[in-house]
Structure 1
Amino acid sequence: MKTAGTQKRQRFLMMLTGAFAIFFTGFPHVWSIYQPYVTEGTGWTQSQGAMCFYLALSAFVFGNILGGRMQNHFGPRKVLFLGGGLLSAGILMSAFSLVSSPLPMYLTYGVMQGLGQGMMYTVILAAAQQWFPDRTGFASGIVVTANGLCGLFMAPFSRQLLEKEGPKVTLLTVGIFMVAAWILSSLFFASPEENRETAKTGMGEAQSRCRQYTSGEMLRTKQFYFLLATMLFGLISYFMISPISQSYQLELGIPAAAAVSSVMIGSVVNALTRLVLPSLADKVGRIVCIKGVLVIAAAAMILLCFSDSYGATVAVILIYGCYGGIMGSFPSLTSSVFGIRHAGENYGFVMLGIVIATFGTPVLTRMINVGENGMRYVFAAGAVFAAAAFVFIEMLRITLNKSDRSDDYGIGNNEKAASAGKK
């Protein structure tokens, strides 16, 4: 009983402090609030300022891959400590990188912050799923919800501090919070792999029921590329509408209050779907839930094509929710297909779809957005890409079912085994 009670306390403290640390991995998504203040003070162009966001997001993905690989050799606790230190140092140093050349900011805010965030993210996400081997959706949902909540809380906080004190003081203040999150997560981090009793029970049993793919093995499967394509095409609709969600509504004559509210409500829906959908998927199946998200995304983009009023506002909120659904569901889906032992590194490779979508969508939008109805063509293309993602997730389901004819959930051997284990 004492062992069980100790494990529960370890798990609770790890999830609590881990969620606090993961909260700050969403910080790059509020860069749009910082950018006007930074460019005004440094003289950078808008494109130079925007590169800080793209570098941070890209480095985050590669940080997941790097952290997952290092975790296999040095252990999760050391990787968490190194990643948190790199993240904290990157933000604190970025406060002193506001100079005429953007290169120092690219290194500190972009590369250092992104890599550090990715390393922390992969370790905490993997540990959370390992603590709940039969409820990986619930565990990963909590983690990615914390990431999604960053924009909701940090945006108004940052805006007020930027107006009063400017970007240097604001970045230093955020950096101090990140140091606190780094220390707390390092102190209370607990991995089931470090606990022999847990390894013999929950996580050990889950791993024994299904094959645990290394990243090299995963990259040689068709299932990986179906997952990658689903994430890539499923996220394009969000990246199409997110940068222009307010301005497009204003162009349609929708009141500014409604346009701003749609983004705020969309952020809340984004966070809720990150938590609710993965937990629901533990019961009804992950592929089923992701298919539903993609259908809604396609419908929302079609609504944007034909709506000239508040229908566009509804569509924006739906797209934000679909983004949260995809980001919340894919960690546990990846673990269901390829196992949880190497979950962090494996998911890092799947997240390459985010990098491709992030850099490719603006180029695609500029190519399609021509003529009087250019944006409607863009939204129509977004619906097509959502449909393409649906096709790829269905192809994933078919290939998994071939290896398990009795699969009731459309996921494959790993999740089938986990579901059977719960019974």
Structure 2
Amino acid sequence: MQVNNENRWLIVAGAVLVQLALGGVYAWSVFTPELQAAGWSRVQTQLVFSAAPACIAIAMLFAGTLIRRWGPRRLVVVGGTVLSCGYLAAGLSGTTDFIAIFILIGVVAGSGIGLAYMVPLVVAMRWFPDRKGLITGTVVAGFGLGVMGWVKLADSWGHLLENVGLSNTFTIYGVIIITLIALGSRFMVFPDSNGRDEVETVKGNFSRREMLRSPDFYLVFSSYAACAAAGLMAIGLMKIYPMEVLMAKGMGRGAASVITGTAMGVFFSLANALGRISWGAVSDKLGRKRSVMLLAASQGVWFLLFPQFAGSEWTLYLGATLVGFNFGGNFSLFPTLTVDLFGAESVGDNYPVMNLAFGLGGIIGPTLGGFMGDIGSFPMAFTFCGVMCLCGSFVIIFLRSSVIEVALQADPVQGISKR
């Protein structure tokens, strides 16, 4: 089917399908109890989760060039195939060896996500230049919804881990991923391409080199890194830590696992998806600077309070909802803030550099969280998360928002010209 302005919402539907396929990385916490039972330490479980964001960020650096060379559809298919093959290889090998799974899930699957991740965002923003915040939030909501689908498929809905085991669950994931990619990639075309995959090279407002000379880049980068490190640390611990708290209060392991799985797989993931859409829409009205400051500051408060949330079923659901809602907002606010600051046409080249902050956070946060878990300091880990987010909010105060606002008022479609 040829896409035009009248049916351009098909682009959003296809983009959401692709992002659903890519969202499996956040299901990692559902596998950690199984791997710990197989002899893994907490640090090892978090190292795999650290490797995936790092590889996502590195692979994204090449996506801007590859999308011009291959076109959006082909790049999505390649990235999705690499992701699927990582899970299929891990599943069909039947291994629980740390090095093998680290490479196949952390490195290979993470790299596949990084190759494909930017494509739905860039394509959707080209089709909806007047609604960048809302559309970006809607597209990345698919990534957030993937948390619920992938976690609950393995856990209390699909019971895959219980019925077919860890390796077969990886295999099933690989098959579902490539199916979703095949469906969604059909609509990954740029406007006026008439269904072709060829992409013309366009000059953006800021080149990478020009962006790297801007003080604003380092302010946004440091805020994103702080929020990502805190969020990824917390996600890696939000099943293990509450399970230990609930079991220490006399709850059985099975019941505690169901509750924590529901907290992550339902409350966190639904709030994560809703937060991506809501924060994106709010930022179109409130402004990107104020939105980032508000999101990071409130997230810091929720992390500081999380040890109190973890002590009972319903407060845990509340904590997971609050954390998920704000964490999801990062993935709609920081891409659109990058567009506002450095130009819409060059986002495919520039946002992957900005997203290295996510990779840096992915290395620091989960690894530090795993270390603190091994020494029994889970509450201190969430305190670190809270402080990092509050720092991320503070540095955005120095962003030159007046430049953003003037530029957007002058040209809300294209964003900022060189200043």
Q: TM-score range by the shorter chain?
A: 0.7 to 0.9
Match of 2:288 in 1: 286
Match of 1:325 in 2: 329
What is the SS of the residue equivalent to 2:93? coil
Match of 1:130 among 126, 133, 141: 126
- 1:125 deviates by 0.9
Structural RMSD (CA): 3.6
Identify unmatched segments of 5+ residues in structure 1: 197-206, 405-410
Match of 1:32 in 2: 29
- 1:218 deviates by 1.5
What is the SS of the residue equivalent to 1:281? helix
Q: Which moved more, 1:180-189 or 1:332-341?
A: 180-189
- 1:144 deviates by 0.9
- 1:272 deviates by 0.7
Distance 2:306 2:87 in 1: 38
Q: Does residue 148 of structure 1 match 2:144?
A: yes
Q: Which amino acid aligns with 1:387?
A: L
| Maintained 8 Å contact 1:134/1:418 | no
| Maintained 8 Å contact 1:13/1:189 | no
Match of 2:246 in 1: 250
For residues 198-250 of structure 1, what are the alpha-carbon distances to aligned partners after superposition, in whole Å with 9 as ceiling and x for unaligned? Answer: xxxxxxxxx99xx6222232222111111111111223443443333353453
Specify whether residues 45 and 136 from structure 1 end up closer, same or farther in structure 2 by C-alpha distance, changes over 3 A only. same
Q: Which amino acid aligns with 1:294?
A: A
Match of 1:276 among 265, 275, 278: 278
Specify whether residues 191 and 50 from structure 1 end up closer, same or farther in structure 2 by C-alpha distance, changes over 3 A only. same
Match of 1:8 among 6, 9, 28: 6
For residues 134-192 of structure 1, what are the alpha-carbon distances to aligned partners after superposition, in whole Å with 9 as ceiling and x for unaligned? Answer: 11111111111000011111212122112111233322222222222222233332212
Match of 1:407 in 2: none
Q: Which amino acid aligns with 1:299?
A: V
Distance 1:140 1:280 in 2: 12
Match of 2:210 in 1: 217
Match of 1:238 in 2: 231
- 1:271 deviates by 1.5
TM-score using structure 2 length: 0.81
Identify unmatched segments of 5+ residues in structure 2: 196-201
What is the SS of the residue equivalent to 2:95? coil
TM-score using structure 1 length: 0.80
Higher relative contact order (CA 8 A, sep 6+): 2
| Maintained 8 Å contact 2:147/2:269 | yes
What is the SS of the residue equivalent to 1:212? coil
Q: Does residue 113 of structure 1 match 2:109?
A: yes
For residues 35-80 of structure 1, what are the alpha-carbon distances to aligned partners after superposition, in whole Å with 9 as ceiling and x for unaligned? Answer: 4445666x65554454333222221122222112222344333322
Q: Does residue 392 of structure 1 match 2:390?
A: no
**Aligned residues: percent identity?**
24
Please show how residues 291-330 of structure 1 align to structure 2 within 5 Å. Answer: 291-304=293-306, 313=316, 314-330=318-334
- 1:276 deviates by 1.3
| Maintained 8 Å contact 2:51/2:362 | no
